[in-house]
Chain A
Amino acid sequence: MKAIKISNLQKAYGSALVLKDVNLEVDSGEIIGYIGPNGAGKSTTIKILIGMIPDYTGNVEVMGLDVKANPLEIKRLIGYVPENASLYETLSPMEYLRFLGSLYQLETDQIEEKATELLRLFALYDQRDDRMTTFSKGMKQKVLLISGILHNPEVIFLDEPLSGLDANAVILVKEILSQLKHAGKTIFYSSHIMDVVEKISDRIVLINKGTIIANGTFDELKSQRETGSLEQIFNQLTGNNEHVQLAEEFIQVMNR
């Protein structure tokens, strides 16, 4: 069974077609790096997959279930960590996770035990009863990560999961991702940090202007092109070779 199956997906906001005929299949236990320039349709794809945007055309299945027909079942099977997400900051991490757990109808004792352990692993044990108003961006991101996996989902969607994390936490999260993969979880991962995507992804999917323009392992992508790093491949494929000139203009305008 495919973890994710998208066929002929289209999504328009008003007259603007954000996704034009997206087709993609992901196997269970794969880590997919989903990359593309700003506004390419990455977040929209993810939000359709997790059932937050129900009005699209085409067929989208997660774990063999149609997203439109079974929104609740799918929401139980997936975890999602959005980019720059807000939290109810007047709560403590424990209280927030407790509330979230109750929405997933988990047992209170189970939530408490799991949340405490996960917070300890992320070095937030001492702050577990502090209000999150005082938290740094990285600390909040850790809480968000925990909130995305608390209910033991099968498919995990991560949107820029490393933003704001310090170097130690980044290493830890990368390690957690590969361990999750070994545990058979599917990870759908979107980021702008190319060297991380390059290292941890089994497969890289590149989207530009609403269509997928590349799909394969890093080596496959590299063999199609002459150049070395994912960053350069990205640059070539999404057609932005004018960065030197643009930067020069930028400075000129500022100096006016």
Chain B
Amino acid sequence: MINFYIKILFLLRPIFLRLGVNFEQLVAIVEVKLKMDNRRARFNQWNKKQSESNGTFFLTLGLYFLMACAFSAFIYFSSSIIAIYSLIFAMMMFMLAMTLITDFSAVILDSNDNAVLLPRPIDDRTLLIARITHILMYLLSMMLALAIPFMVVTMHLYGVLAAISFLIISLLCLILIVFLTNIFYLVLMQFTSEERLRNIINTFQIILTFTFMGGYRLVGRLVNFDTLMNGVDTKVQWWYFLVPPIWMGNSMNVIIKHEFDATKFLFLFLTLTVPFMVVFLVNNVFSGVFNQKIAGMDIAKRQEKIPNKTSKKGLVETLSGIFTGTSMERGTFEFVWKITSRDRKFKLRIYPSLAYLLIYPVFMIGTGRSNGSFVQQIEHLRESTGMGIVVIYLCGTVLLTIRSQISQSEDFKAAWLYELAPIGKPGEILSGSLRAIMVKFLLPITILLSLVLSIIWGVNLLDDLLFGMLTIINLDLLLSIGMSNELPFSTEIKKNGGGSFIRNMTYVFITGIIGFIHYLMMQVPYVIGVLMVIQLVLALFLFKKYREVGWEKVRME
């Protein structure tokens, strides 16, 4: 696999040389990074067994491929080439961008190799482009997994030339999205100090998620079901020029139908040039800033003090007293709570996921009716309680998302203390960790959600909210008790990623099914009320069981 990537790099050698990059150094850096991604270190070095697997990555590729296969059928049904290809490119860009932000932000902003690379005679440009190339290699595989089904269908319908054009435009699309995301980060770095950068980077990721989602929705406005079937109206709006997938859709139209006019030409021109302009910008304007700021991000400030609270107990200590039973649970509760608020890498990984899970409902409110004022849309929503259930379960998946990330940490080597301390039942640690996540993340979301639900649908959805959250908690507990667990912050951060975006989507899918069952049951009066009692009893039982989980169900890396 690595050799394949390296071969691709050699094919692109002239481009790299053109950029003024030291090609030999670049290949060396990328190769070593790819190798390291495949080898996950174990913190107990005396168990020197190496595993070279990236199963999750191939699983992600497989899922992307299947999704694209299913989606490619639409090309047959659509009568508008512009519409369908705009939509395809929008989907590809959106998926790549989300993967990039959720799975690779930590890699882009990684400062671990500073100690190794910065003292060496490598120029800034080579280092930055090597970083981006490293990520590009993964995204290239993902893009190919997505693009191949579309290519096959395109070839079948419109011939080889169209298929090849599709591949080329897909590649441009990939370059555009990767370098565009980098430009966002770089502009941000340009205008902030290292210190502020650290604080605002999460906010920024959320804004970025919004932006890409907004773009996706714009394409959705252009291309809805009607236009797909009956052809798009030819009037070109001004904002079409701001949305890359629409340029690309139009370019495909030009290639397939050979229709030329000034606007069409402009779209084609933008498709072909903008990706390279973006590369040029990154390469020539920003590369100097990047390493310097990344280096600065790690130097923590001395003044990062917590106010001395010797006399009165802090909030966390109070909460841990309320929500936990045993001493180990209490300790772990505080431990997880504090690290999740401070570990930048953790926030870097988790906040973008949270952002799009929480933003989804807001966008859904918009999909109900594309015209009409906000008040009208709310009125419209009120009629469908099903949407309320969807929102509840989407927010509930936040728990599963965080739970899947909590075992990873940069300080995973510090997990030796779990093996040293006299821990009879690691379940107490796992349960302390779950309680902290529930109180810190799920509880505020539930409270916020109860307000939103009350405003839109009235108080009668509140019992459904409670039921939904209990269902998700029980689901999580059942999965945890049944399967193997990892202790908090005890495994290395997975870098050969692509995992979290697709995993989050799987969670959304599973909870979606449960939500649908919930919706069906809601139609019968009193069912939710009765089941709620059962859920509560089950939850109490499972919490007790979870606390008793033994070492045989815990996986130490």
Q: Which chain A residues have a beta carbon within 8 Å of chain B's beta carbons?
A: 13, 43-44, 47, 50, 52-53, 71-73, 75-76, 80, 82, 85-92, 95, 98-106, 108, 129-131, 133-134, 147
Contact = CB atoms under 8 A, between A and B. Distances in A.
A55 to B, nearest CB: 10
Q: In the A-B complex, list the 5 residue pairs whose CB atoms are closest, starting with the nearest.
A: A102-B331, A86-B413, A103-B421, A75-B422, A86-B414
A86 B411 CA distance: 7
B423 A103 contact: yes
B414 A95 contact: no
Nearest to B417: A100
Given A98-B331, A102-B332, A72 B46 contact: no
Nearest to A131: B304
27 contacts: A43-B46, A44-B46, A50-B420, A52-B419, A72-B422, A72-B424, A73-B422, A82-B416, A85-B413, A86-B43, A86-B412, A87-B414, A98-B331, A98-B334, A99-B332, A99-B334, A99-B335, A100-B417, A100-B421, A102-B327, A102-B331, A103-B331, A103-B422, A108-B327, A129-B307, A131-B300, A133-B300
B123 interface: no
Contact of B420 (A52, A86, A90): A52
Nearest to A102: B331
Contacts of A133: 300, 304
Nearest to B300: A133
A25 B141 CA distance: 59
A111 to B, nearest CB: 9
Interface of B: 43-44, 46, 48, 300-302, 304-308, 326-328, 330-332, 334-335, 338-339, 342-343, 409, 411-414, 416-424, 429, 489
A90 B332 contact: no
B302 A103 contact: no
B416 A131 contact: no
Given A43-B46, A90-B338, A98-B331, A134 B411 contact: no
Given A52-B419, A75-B422, A103-B331, A85 B46 contact: no
Given A98-B334, A102-B328, A53 B46 contact: yes
A120 to B, nearest CB: 13
A106 B328 CA distance: 9
B339 A88 contact: yes
Contacts of B421: 75, 100, 103-104
A87 B416 CA distance: 9
Given A86-B414, A134-B302, A91 B422 contact: no
B97 to A, nearest CB: 29
A231 B208 CA distance: 61
A129 B305 contact: yes
B420 A75 contact: yes
Contacts of B334: 95, 98-99, 102
Given A99-B334, A103-B423, A105-B328, A90 B411 contact: yes
A108 B489 CA distance: 22
Nearest to A89: B411
Contacts of B416: 52, 82, 85-86
Nearest to A75: B422
Nearest to A85: B416
A150 to B, nearest CB: 11
A130 B424 contact: no
B417 A131 contact: no
B422 A13 contact: no
Contacts of B338: 90-91, 95
B338 to A, nearest CB: 6
Contacts of B308: 129
A13 B48 contact: yes
A150 B328 CA distance: 16
Contacts of B422: 71-73, 75-76, 103-105
B183 to A, nearest CB: 29
B311 to A, nearest CB: 12
A129 B314 CA distance: 13
A247 to B, nearest CB: 25
Nearest to B342: A90
Contact of B306 (A43, A73, A92): A92
A100 B419 CA distance: 12
A98 B416 CA distance: 16
Given A13-B48, A100-B331, 20 more contacts: A52-B416, A52-B419, A80-B420, A85-B416, A87-B411, A88-B409, A90-B343, A90-B411, A95-B334, A95-B335, A98-B334, A99-B335, A100-B421, A102-B334, A103-B331, A104-B422, A105-B326, A130-B304, A133-B304, A134-B302
A105 B409 CA distance: 24
A98 B332 CA distance: 10
Contacts of A103: 328, 331, 417-418, 421-423, 429
Nearest to B414: A86
A15 to B, nearest CB: 13
A79 B416 CA distance: 13
A134 B305 CA distance: 11
Contacts of A44: 46
A151 B12 CA distance: 60
B369 to A, nearest CB: 47
Contacts of B343: 90
Contacts of A47: 46
Contacts of B417: 100, 103, 147
Nearest to A77: B422
Nearest to A147: B417
B411 A130 contact: no
Nearest to B48: A13
A184 B327 CA distance: 29
Contacts of A82: 416
A131 B342 contact: yes
A242 B108 CA distance: 48
Given A43-B46, A85-B414, A134 B304 contact: yes
Residue in A50, A80, A105 with the greatest tally of chain B CB atoms within 10 Å = A105
A82 B419 CA distance: 12
Contacts of B326: 105
A46 to B, nearest CB: 11
A28 B307 CA distance: 43
Given A50-B420, A88-B339, A90-B411, A101 B331 contact: yes
A72 B423 CA distance: 7
